Amino acid sequence: MTKEDKTPWYQSRLGFGVIMGGVAAVSAGLAALLVNISERKAEQKVAFVRVVEVGENDTDPEKWGRNWPAQYDSYKKTALKTQTRFGGHAGSEALPEEKIERDPWLKRMFLGYAFSIDYRDRRGHAYMLDDQEQTERLTKPQSGSCLHCHASIMPLYRELGDGDAVVGFEKTYQYSYQDLHKKLKDSGHAHPVSCVDCHDPETMTLRVTRPGFLAGIAALADSDVPLPAIPSIEIWRQNGKKGTYNPNAEATRNEMRSFVCGQCHVEYYCSSKMPLTFPWGKGLKVEQIEEFWDEAKFVDGSKFVDYAHAETGAPILKAQHPEFELWNQGIHARSGVSCADCHMPYIREGAAKISDHWVRSPLLNVNRACQTCHRASESELLARVDSIQSKNYDLLQRGGAAIVQLIDAILEARKRGVSEEGLEGALAMQRKAQWRHRRRKQHGLPRASGSGSHSR
Ligand code: HEC
Ligand code: HEC
Ligand code: HEC
Ligand code: HEC
Ligand code: HEC
């Protein structure tokens, strides 16, 4: 069976039951794929006994853990320290390593922005609220919008909006981080991402809750950019774009296995100058998001910018963590492979199989995260990933050095009397270069081979 014979994965996933037991020759030496998706998905159905009722205001995962102890136990493991060559975190148990010390060009690139003060390796979900509370970026004024992705905040949104979470959310950008954080503490919902954020408490089906994602994905659906990795949007468009695209009603279960992560692992803008924004109205590609920001305005009508570079004055666009956007462009997404397939693979718990809620690097778990689909040896898969990541890492370092040289050249030109008008082109290039520059150590499998999880 050749590649051409294969029904696109997502189509068969829509039918949910179509067997895809095909063998695909993967060009660059990965061995054959041999997978029966419907079987793999069906394994997931597990009976459970409800010991306690849980509802929309139960943000404490411990309570849910009484009904679903295996998922809760694995969820708690996100507090463990993990490290791979490029993933997880270096540094102590107390605090991950400082990226801006490890790569001084990062600090230079961010001068004029809070990321030049403190910017560390990320780590497991258990730490998301602590790490935000601790970051020295909070020595600069930050907005209440920060909490959208670092806490189980939906009940507080409802409280602020008299029952309407979206209304409550829309108020929060005007709060200072400290004020909204205090309200969160007082409300008793100061937990990191919790069961209720991804699951309907009645049915346990996946759902998305975050207003930023709901608005962003609706704007994306309303655009006309092709989205081969999100078939439910294509269908909603074909049916005449009725109302607003609502992922909780329209999306396939398989899409939801990525959407729940797209609530936070995205590019965004967050400050007191406008509500938290996911910039997807023109598409998810780097040029499309750039165009979105180029045209964006703050609430007061002034032109959107992340910050002015402290040395050159260039109006910088700073990319956050666009895992959802990068994933969307890779071969895995187009083949119907979700974030959860790699980051939450099935594990055996006695007689049952459950989704591993220890969300972490799949490289620590190649057997379950990759070998369910790829029949290559673990060492072969790891070597393949490492070679892609190494190439990307080298490009990242070269890009960093080039941006520093550009900054030096602009300063030198100014010293020699080049006019501000004459510098405009160079400043525009600084903005474009930095926007395209990946600032993290590494993640996923890049575009080098035209493929990958978060390809770019
Ligand atoms: C085909 C498998 C695959 C898919 C699908 C996938 N990822 Fe990944 N992801 C990886 C690999 C491999 C890494 C690199 C881990 C490492 O270097 O240790 C990674 C890294 C990451 C990291 C950084 C982890 C760290 O330890 O620093 C995050 C965050 C992440 N992925 C989120 C996502 C999100 C969100 C999605 C869906 C939108 C997704 N991934 C889809 C395989 C995948
Ligand atoms: C409510 C927001 C939110 C959601 C939803 C979310 N994440 Fe995260 N994720 C974070 C934050 C914040 C961090 C960084 C925490 C820190 O560094 O303290 C993180 C960290 C991670 C890491 C790094 C773990 C490590 O050990 O280094 C991975 C991988 C990851 N997330 C993948 C996912 C995947 C896959 C999903 C969906 C199943 C998901 N996340 C859903 C906010 C979220
Ligand atoms: C749209 C969701 C979202 C919003 C809003 C958000 N974060 Fe995060 N944050 C994440 C995710 C996802 C990660 C993990 C990925 C990464 O580190 O690249 C993270 C990581 C972090 C980390 C750990 C690594 C580091 O950068 O040092 C800190 C601290 C942090 N965020 C602080 C903040 C602050 C302060 C704000 C408000 C200015 C904020 N976050 C707003 C999603 C978000
Ligand atoms: C970041 C999102 C996220 C969070 C938070 C989360 N889950 Fe899940 N959970 C998932 C995903 C994705 C699946 C796979 C569902 C599917 O394929 O239909 C899942 C599946 C499940 C299932 C179905 C059986 C299984 O294991 O596949 C149960 C039960 C469950 N989770 C319980 C919990 C509990 C309890 C918590 C809190 C301790 C929790 N989840 C937190 C994303 C999440
Ligand atoms: C649910 C199934 C599934 C899972 C899980 C999965 N993959 Fe894939 N992977 C695919 C499919 C399908 C393709 C596209 C193959 C094709 O059509 O050529 C692919 C392609 C790739 C490619 C690109 C090959 C090329 O030549 O461009 C690499 C590399 C890869 N996968 C590595 C991994 C790694 C590493 C993991 C685990 C972190 C993983 N995959 C997890 C299904 C999966």
Cα gap 216→247, rounded to integer Å: 11
- Average pLDDT score over residue span 341-367: 95
Beta strands in 24-154 (DSSP E): none
CATH class, domain 54-369, is: mainly alpha
Answer yes or no: are the C-beta atoms of 435 and 319 closer than 8 Å.
Answer: yes
Would the CB of 363 count as within 6 Å of ligand 2?
A: no
Q: Which residues pair with 88 in a beta bridge?
A: 83
> Residue 336: which pLDDT band, with cuts at 50, 70 and 90?
very high
- Look at ligand 4, atom 31, and give the residue with the nearest C-alpha: 71
Atom number, ligand 1, closest to the C-alpha of residue 88? 26
Domain locations in the chain as residue ranges: 1-42, 54-369, 378-449
Ligand 4 site residues (CB inside 6 A) read: 44, 46, 61, 64-65, 68, 71-72, 75, 193-195, 197-199, 204, 206, 253, 257, 260, 340, 344, 354-355, 357
Supply the pLDDT for residue 45.
53
- Which of 38, 332, 360 maximizes ligand 5 atoms within 8 Å of its Cβ, making it the mutation to test the pocket? 332
What spacing in Å lies between the alpha carbon of 386 and ligand 1's midpoint?
Answer: 14
78: number of Cβ within 10 Å: 19
Answer yes or no: are the C-beta atoms of 56 and 196 closer than 8 Å.
Answer: yes
Q: Comparing C-alpha atoms, which of 358, 367, 359, 362 is closest to residue 385?
A: 362
pLDDT of residue 265 exceeding 70: yes
Q: Which two tokens stand for residue 139?
A: 């020595």
- Average pLDDT score over residue span 144-158: 98
Would the CB of 325 count as within 6 Å of ligand 5?
A: no
Measured between alpha carbons, how far apart are the two ends of the chain, in Å?
A: 29
- Look at ligand 5, atom 30, and give the residue with the nearest C-alpha: 452
> Residue 349: which pLDDT band, with cuts at 50, 70 and 90?
confident
Supply the pLDDT for residue 451.
31
